[in-house]
């Protein structure tokens, strides 16, 4: 059973319709027990990091997600969910779950691009299983003002980046550490390529 | 590479699509769900459904359309028309729309932008703005509402900036002068707004040929171009247009 984590961070309907379309068996839940008892977890979300962390902590979902990640079973973070798996965000100076080492920063306003990034951007991936069957430089749909750095918080290149994109500067479009995967873009809103990525997670990872 | 978006707009009345020429003489041309699937398969980047249903009793039909579209297409889509409150926004977002667009209601009550952005985030809230040339305005363009029938006395740039500061995540700028002409977008107005705000601007009104999109996406500095008639009547497909934009060196999604 797949659990889609509901923590009041945006509308889960698009993830729900995409999973239904793919014929996946899933439930939407905000219960830590459901997360822990799942075979796979999808952790989506849109919104503000500090508020989201507050809800996760209040509901005990922070510890459940950390424990689930440690269990070795597949976890997929999407957009805000992807960011929350990192160590820290500049968005209201928020400590995150620290499941994948990394820093979330605000896009600088002086790079000649509009912030937030809203739209389609091409991704260069590392041929990991999440991107199986997806050509290089395929386009995915992004909506975000904060981005995952390709550098580790202490300096040096992050070894966890599995997809890269450019928006005034290079940023991490997808990250992967062991059983944990995350995309800054919305696969559920990225047309056939996005559905393929979700299908890869559901059927090929685990 | 970040890409320019091609957005197809479907006007929906009583659950059927129409296309208004200068907002008059609408004729039914099809089922919005089927049309959405067709454009999805052609590679459109985003869709806008504009509800022009006149009677309040029939508004529920639109929610059903939104729900059915959300089950069939896996790209973002926006719903506008008749959104007068945060509760109206809630209904379309819960039915599966990614974004909601407010136009006349936001001019009358700008707090709807603020309220929507606080509840759903700026990325959900699109300001639809109808503008027409008006030499008495500082920018040379004034804001009109109610489908172009009512002049508000507000300047286009001033309203765009206010909407941005209130939390709008995007502006769809529709030129009343160009709308339905198929002679090309209002390049000057689009460029003025795009340079005045830090949020994406979608150009609307006047598209008839692929080169019109190329013009507004370069000279007009638009982030996206909205089209309707040129694809609804079968003169072009979204794929045709994207091919031509690519050959003009404009980055668009081709997969």
Q: Is the CB of residue A52 less than 8 Å from the CB of residue A84? A: yes
Extract the residue ranges of chain A whose pLDDT is less than 50.
Answer: none
pLDDT at B103 over 50: yes
Residue B80's DSSP bridge partners are B50, B101
pLDDT at B189 over 80: yes
Q: Is the CB of residue B104 less than 8 Å from the CB of residue B127? A: no
Q: Does A121 touch chain B (CB under 8 A)?
A: yes
Mean pLDDT of B96-121: 94
- ipTM, two decimals, is 0.93
Of A46, A120, A192, the CB nearest to B121: A46
pLDDT at B22: 36
Of A17, A21, A195, the CB nearest to B96: A17
Distance CA B177, CA B175 (A): 5
pLDDT at A48: 86
pLDDT at B24: 37
How many Cβ atoms sit within 10 Å of the Cβ of residue A191? Answer: 23
Higher-pLDDT residue of A114, B74: B74
Mean pLDDT of B224-244: 93
What phi and psi values does residue A17 have, to the nearest 5 degrees? Answer: -70, -35
B199 chain-A contacts, CB cut-off 8 A: 114, 116
Flag the least confident range among A54-58, B121-125, B150-154: B121-125
**Chain B nearest C-alpha distance from A123 (Å):** 8
Q: Could you say which residues from 167 to 196 on chain A have a Cβ atom under 8 Å away from some Cβ of chain B?
A: 167, 188-195
pLDDT at B29: 61
pLDDT at B23 over 50: no
**pLDDT band at B28; cut points 50, 70, 90:** low
Mean pLDDT of B228-251: 93
Rounded to a whole number of angstroms, the distance between the first and last alpha carbons of chain A is: 12
**pLDDT band at B137; cut points 50, 70, 90:** very high
Scan for tokens 């197809």, then name that residue: B8
User: Between chains, do B255 and A138 touch, taking CB under 8 Å as contact?
Assistant: yes
Flag the least confident range among A127-136, B25-34, B150-159: B25-34
Q: Among A202, A160, A170, A185, which Cα is nearest to A81's?
A: A185
pLDDT at B31: 86
**pLDDT band at B19; cut points 50, 70, 90:** low
Please provide the size of chain A in residues: 206
User: Between chains, do A17 and B70 touch, taking CB under 8 Å as contact?
Assistant: yes
pLDDT at A95: 98
Outline where A22-148 has alpha helix (H). Answer: 32-36, 49-58, 61-70, 80-84
How many Cβ atoms sit within 10 Å of the Cβ of residue B17? Answer: 24
Mean pLDDT of B40-44: 95
Q: Is the CB of residue A17 less than 8 Å from the CB of residue A52? A: no
Distance CA B5, CA A188 (A): 18
Q: Is the CB of residue B80 less than 8 Å from the CB of residue B41? A: no
Q: Closest chain A residue to B200 measured between Cα atoms?
A: A114
pLDDT at B234: 82
- What is the CA A70 to chain-centroid distance, rounded? 17
Distance CA A12, CA B222 (A): 30
Q: Is the CB of residue A86 less than 8 Å from the CB of residue A52? A: no
Outline where A2-105 has alpha helix (H). Answer: 13-21, 32-36, 49-58, 61-70, 80-84
User: Between chains, do B121 and A138 touch, taking CB under 8 Å as contact?
Assistant: no
In chain B, % of residues over pLDDT 70:
95
- What is the CA B164 to chain-centroid distance, rounded? 16
Distance CA A169, CA A112 (A): 10
Task: Establish whether A125 is a catalytic residue.
Answer: no
pLDDT at A77: 98
Distance CA A106, CA A168 (A): 12
pLDDT at B25 over 60: no
pLDDT at B21: 42
Q: Does A83 touch chain B (CB under 8 A)?
A: no
pLDDT at A46: 85
Q: Is the CB of residue B62 less than 8 Å from the CB of residue B69? A: no
pLDDT at B156: 98
Residue B142's DSSP bridge partners are B132, B155
Distance CA B209, CA B18 (A): 20
CA distances from B79 to A57, A186, B63, B93 (A): 34, 19, 10, 9
pLDDT at B20: 46
Task: Establish whether B240 is a catalytic residue.
Answer: no
Torsional class of B28: left (φ above 0), alpha (ψ -120 to 50), beta (otherwise): beta
Q: Among A192, A164, A204, which Cα is nearest to A76's?
A: A204
Outline where B104-204 has alpha helix (H). Answer: 104-108, 111-120, 156-165, 187-196
pLDDT at B11 over 70: yes
B71 chain-A contacts, CB cut-off 8 A: 17, 20-21
Mean pLDDT of B183-196: 98
Q: Does A11 touch chain B (CB under 8 A)?
A: yes
């Amino acid at each position: 059973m797949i659990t889609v984590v509901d923590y009041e961070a945006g509308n889960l309907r698009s993830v729900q319709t995409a999973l239904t379309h793919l014929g996946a068996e899933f439930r939407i839940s905000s219960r830590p027990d459901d997360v822990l008892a799942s075979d796979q977890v999808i952790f989506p979300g849109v919104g503000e990091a500090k508020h989201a962390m507050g809800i996760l902590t209040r509901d005990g979902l922070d510890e459940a997600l950390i424990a689930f990640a440690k269990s070795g079973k597949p976890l997929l973070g999407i957009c805000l969910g992807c960011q929350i798996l990192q160590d820290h965000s500049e968005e209201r100076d928020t400590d995150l779950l620290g499941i994948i080492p990394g820093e979330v920063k605000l896009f600088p306003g002086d790079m000649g691009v509009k912030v937030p990034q809203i739209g389609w951007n091409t991704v260069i991936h590392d041929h990991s299983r999440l991107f199986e069957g997806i050509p290089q430089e395929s386009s995915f749909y992004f909506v975000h003002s904060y981005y995952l750095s390709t550098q580790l918080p202490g300096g040096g290149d992050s070894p966890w980046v599995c997809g890269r994109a450019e928006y005034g500067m290079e940023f991490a479009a997808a990250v992967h550490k062991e059983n944990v995967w995350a995309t800054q873009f919305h696969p559920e809103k990225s047309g056939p390529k996005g559905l393929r990525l979700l299908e890869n997670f559901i059927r090929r990872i685990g | 590479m970040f890409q320019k978006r091609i957005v197809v707009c479907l006007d929906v009345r009583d659950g059927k699509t129409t296309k208004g020429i200068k907002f008059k003489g609408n004729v039914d041309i099809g089922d919005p769900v089927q049309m959405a699937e067709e454009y999805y398969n052609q590679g459109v980047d985003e869709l806008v459904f504009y509800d022009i249903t006149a009677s309040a009793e029939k508004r529920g039909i639109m929610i059903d359309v939104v729900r059915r579209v959300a089950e069939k297409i896996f790209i973002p889509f926006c719903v506008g028309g008749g959104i007068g409150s945060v509760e109206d926004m809630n209904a379309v977002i819960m039915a599966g729309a990614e974004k909601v667009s407010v136009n006349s209601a936001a001019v009358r009550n700008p707090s709807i932008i603020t309220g929507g952005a606080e509840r759903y985030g700026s990325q959900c809230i699109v300001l639809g703005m109808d503008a027409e040339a008006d030499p008495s305005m500082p920018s040379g363009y004034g804001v009109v509402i109610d489908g172009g029938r009512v002049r508000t006395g507000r300047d286009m740039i001033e309203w765009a900036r206010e909407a941005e500061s209130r939390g709008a995540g995007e502006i769809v700028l529709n030129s009343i002068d160009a709308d339905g002409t198929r002679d090309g977008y209002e390049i000057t107005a689009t460029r003025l707004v795009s340079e005045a705000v830090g949020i994406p601007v979608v150009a609307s009104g006047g598209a008839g040929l692929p080169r019109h999109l190329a013009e507004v996406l370069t000279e007009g500095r638009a982030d996206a171009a909205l089209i309707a008639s040129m694809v609804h009547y079968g003169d072009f497909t979204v794929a045709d247009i994207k091919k031509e934009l690519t050959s003009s060196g404009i980055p668009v999604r081709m997969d």
